[in-house]
Amino acid sequence: MPLRGSVITLLLCLIACTPVHPRVSLAPGASLKGYEVFVVMPVTDETGAHFNLDVSDSLQQHLARRLRSHHLIAVTDASADTAAMAVVVTSKLVEFRGIPMWLQTPTRGTTACELRSELWDNRTGQRIGEIVAADLTEDGTPLFVLLHCAHSVADAIEQQLRR
């Protein structure tokens, strides 16, 4: 496992030097065109950090709000009527570096996150693709960094729809 930590540290250093754009990987021949609804599932926290807020709920809500700000239909209830073609968005927070107990307080030092979102077709159950968003910020609030990752995923979805 020390190798994984070294790789993450190296990637975070590279991220600090260059702008970070979400990485979008669609399945061969897949496209988001034609989808009308986005079902944003609860975000899974795989970091092991003990946050002072429910980051899973915050990330889910902000991802849905950001999609709506792009004039897309986004729901956060999987049981919602999705007769229309829909994309199910499942996300997991896989990396967090910062002070999880003080999410709203500006901190000195580096705060980082990585959010991985998979996109699935609601009718066929087929995987459409994945979006990986990462952020690295100096002297910001940890909550801002986390929410920026959610915004980046939503922005990447909107950009794919415009292609």
Domains and CATH numbers, the chain: 21-162 (3.40.50.10610)
Indicate if the pLDDT at residue 24 is higher than 80. yes
127 or 15, which is more confident: 127
Indicate if the pLDDT at residue 120 is higher than 90. yes
Element (H, E) at 134: strand 127-138
The mean per-residue pLDDT over the stretch 76-98 comes to 81
The half-sphere exposure of 86 on its side-chain side, counting CA atoms within 13 A, is 22
pTM given for the model: 0.81
Indicate if the pLDDT at residue 123 is higher than 50. yes
Band (pLDDT 50/70/90 cuts) for residue 22 is very high
